[in-house]
Amino acid sequence: MSAVGQTVRPLRHDAVLRSTPETVIWGQIAADRQPVLRIQSGQTVRIDTVSHQGLTTAQDPVDLFAAGGIAPGEVLQDARDIYRTVKRADGAGAHIITGPIYVEGVQPGDMLEVRVLDVEFRVPYGINATGPGRGAAPEFLSQPAQKIIRLDLARNVALFSREVEVPLAPFMGIVAVAPPPETPRVSTRPPGAFGGNMDFKHLIAGSTLYLPVFNDGALFYTGDGHGVQGDGEVDGTAIEISLTPTLRFFVHKAAGRTMKWPRAEDARHHYVMGMATDLDAALENAVTETARFLQQRAGLTDAEAYALCSLAVDFRVGEAVNNVVMVYGMIPKKLFRQDAGYWA
């Protein structure tokens, strides 16, 4: 069940990683967890993931989804198994993530390139859940709200209401390497230099993410699937859904040493991120890193790079609701006269 128009072919893969109680971890990104898969640079992996939505209450997921019209047979067996057997640590985030994957030959200071070849839907429904104290307008609602949203995969839309259909654009909300070993386990909620819960909506099929590496093997995780999301994820969730991404991994030796935050690109744009607990600081970090990127890419002076940020780069709030704010600069590739080609 791939999203229409979102698949990059061919989709050969070297390994498949299922989401089972043995291959997932609930609420933490861990540097001290044993790898569940080992791969080489250049290899492709198809990774099953399970959404935490529907699994974070005392109610069995089959019963919870049944109240929203979802038949028992439509509830993933691995979601049932994880709900019954995997424990969520105290203080951990809500998300269920698959991993870690150990990439041979990767060392701290390297950069991990993650190419998103495809993102498949595992189920034809998802959940948006919010309520008082949630999101970017925490006083807006007075009661909890949970909406199960059906998808029309043949038409590639979410059936939000009788009058509203939302085009689907599936991506993984959490894409991460393990954090620095001095803090071996962190909550899945706030993003950081290691990636994590960035909720970056441009990581659809055909995109690439670049992550600085802090541990041998990188120790890669992914999860928190989203069927579609607007920038900011302002009510606290997207269409939360179980997805299967197909990812190809490449190692760039020593290229992560100067990276402060993750970067991304697709065929039309470079994306340079900045993060902080404060929106103004996150914007400043994104502008600074974007200017530095432009200096390196085009040989510009400090003043020229700062000016180009103002003239030609859009800065957007990618993530506003998970303690750490992520702002990104959106750099059009058409600015540059010479282009080496994307995925050449």
* pLDDT of amino acid 339: 77
Residue 58 token pair? 């005392």
Helix-then-strand count for the chain, H and E:
4, 21
Specify the 3-state DSSP secondary structure of 24: strand
All structural domains of the chain, each given as residue ranges with its CATH number in brackets, are 15-252 (2.60.120.580), 268-335 (3.10.28.20)
Are 123 and 246 contacting, i.e. CB atoms less than 8 angstroms apart?
no
By DSSP bridging, strand 44-47 and strand 28-30 are unpaired
User: Minimal CA–CA distance to 199: which of 235, 225, 220?
Assistant: 225
Strands 208-212 and 263-265: antiparallel
Give the SS3 label for residue 316.
strand
Class of residue 344 by CB neighbours under 10 A (exposed 0-12, middle 13-18, buried 19+)? exposed
Strands 37-39 and 96-103: parallel
Q: Are 137 and 188 in contact (CB under 8 A)?
A: no
Q: Which helix (H) or strand (E) holds 176?
A: strand 171-177
Q: Quick one: tokens of 93?
A: 């985030």
What pLDDT is stored for residue 9 in this prediction?
53
Q: What local confidence, expressed as pLDDT, does residue 8 receive?
A: 46
**Phi-psi region at 54: left, alpha or beta (left = phi > 0; alpha = psi -120 to 50):** left
Instruction: Tell me the pLDDT of the chain (344 aa) as tens digits.
Output: 555 444 445 578 999 999 999 999 999 999 999 999 999 999 999 999 999 999 998 889 999 999 889 999 999 999 999 999 999 988 899 999 999 999 999 999 999 999 999 999 999 999 999 999 999 999 999 999 999 999 999 999 999 999 999 999 999 999 999 999 999 999 999 999 999 999 999 999 999 999 999 999 999 999 999 999 999 999 999 999 999 999 999 999 999 999 999 999 999 999 999 999 999 999 999 999 999 999 999 999 999 999 999 999 999 999 999 999 999 999 999 999 987 789 97
Residue 292's H or E segment, with its range, is: helix 279-298
